[in-house]
Amino acid sequence: MSRAFISAQRLTRRFPQAPGAGELTVFEDVCFSVAEGEFACLVGHSGCGKTTILNILAGLDQPTAGHIIAGGKHVEGPSLDRAVIFQGHALMPWLSALGNVELAVSSRYPGWARRQVREHAMKFLALVHLDGAAMKKPAQLSGGMKQRVGIARALAIGPRMLLMDEPFSALDALTRGALQDEIVAIRQATKPTVFMITHDIDEALLLADKILLMTNGPKAWIAEVIENTLPADRTRIDLHKHPNYYPLRNHLLDFLVVRSRELAAHAELRSKDLHPAVVRPAVASTTDHTAGAVASDRSGHACNGQIASGHICAV
């Protein structure tokens, strides 16, 4: 694995509650890393602080303790190196699609002439197949088109990292699929480092190289890192035909439905070095002792340094 491009160390966020009620610890000592060019998905239940982690990574929020290093620099505030695609598209309704992208481009390249800004913005609108709707206001665009503008706006500033907060959760299934294909294509073309939050297991399996699994909040943490064992050229159509698909999916579902809750109730199961266990769910190979199943002994994966059942290894 190449060196960590994004690295979170013992990230903790507490929010003040009503006077006298003390503080609410949303997550505690969260550790993870993402390599350069890697696509990481963060999966977990609502309320475990996923969006807060992304906001801290974007520089829009500050952790109560711990820190994040991104691209060799300590994250202290927002940066044009880290583009954010927001959940609710966050387009300026008074600007056209083109105007929204132009605003980002002229912020990134303040010295550029108007014409150059426009050409650059049009190029990225064309990348998401919206060059025909450039002059339309967001209110005239469908949900999927708005999110495409959001993607074009993020990509147009040439970021080193792309941060996406459930970008497709508000879209219908067909539109979501089309946009996922779009992301796959963009990814193959530009290879950015991506950190994305999602609720959708299939979306994570299609897009992500690795999936970070978060326990339930409060005091949530990232318990496991799932390495995607599907082939790199997977598509939405053949994803579920691969033999590793169901082991992966079952492992993720099992975590979300059962273990995320169990782990939250038993914080003592957490490994002492606080780093998440790495799991590679796959079909049973000769070294497996459980046929067709995944290494998911529910004993908390206190697995730093040890290799359990051929699937789990140290970070």
Partner 1 sequence: MHAPLALRAAIISLLLFMGLIGVWHLATLQTGPTITMDPEYAKLMGSTATQGKSPMPGPGEVGAKLWQHLRDPFYDRGTNDKGIGVQLVYSIARVLTGYLLAIAVALPLGFLIGMSPLMARALDPFIQVLKPISPLAWMPLALYSIKDSAISAIFVICICSVWPMLLNTAFGVATVRREWLNVAKTLEMSPGRTALRVILPAAAPTILTGMRISIGIAWLVIVAAEMLVGGTGIGYFVWNEWNNLSITNVIVAILCIGLVGMLLDQLMARLQRVVAYAD
| Site of interaction with partner 1 (CB under 8 A) | 58-60, 77-80, 82-84, 86, 88, 90, 92-95, 103-104, 107-108, 137, 139, 157
CA distances from 9 to 4, 55, 183 (A): 12, 15, 28
**Contact assessment for residue 255 and residue 264, using Cβ atoms and an 8 Å cutoff:** no
Give how far the C-alpha of residue 242 lies from the chain's centroid of Cα atoms, to the nearest Å: 23
Least distance between partner 1 and beta carbon 105 (Å): 10
Nearer residue to partner 1 within complex by CB, 155 or 252: 155
Separation CA 58–CA 195 (nearest Å): 10
Q: Which one, 147 or 244, has the nearer CB to partner 1?
A: 147
Nearest residue (CB) to partner 1, 13 versus 210: 13
Question: Does residue 188 sit in helix, strand or coil?
Answer: helix
In the complex, least distance from residue 107 CB atom to partner 1, rounded to whole angstroms: 4
Q: How far is the CB of 276 from partner 1 (least distance, A)?
A: 27
- Give the residue with the Cβ less far from partner 1, 90 or 315: 90
CB of 313 to partner 1, least distance (A): 36
Least gap, CB of 63 to partner 1 (angstroms): 17
Of the pair 15, 265, the CB lying nearest partner 1 is at: 15
| Contact of 70 with 162, CB cutoff 8 Å | no
Nearer to partner 1, 83 or 134 (CB): 83
- Give me the least distance between CB of 198 and partner 1, in Å please: 19
The closest alpha carbon to 86, from 57, 53, 121, 51, belongs to: 51
The DSSP secondary structure of 212-246, one letter per residue, reads EEE--SSSB-EEEEEEP-S-TT--TTTGGGSTTHH
d(CA 218, CA 28): 9
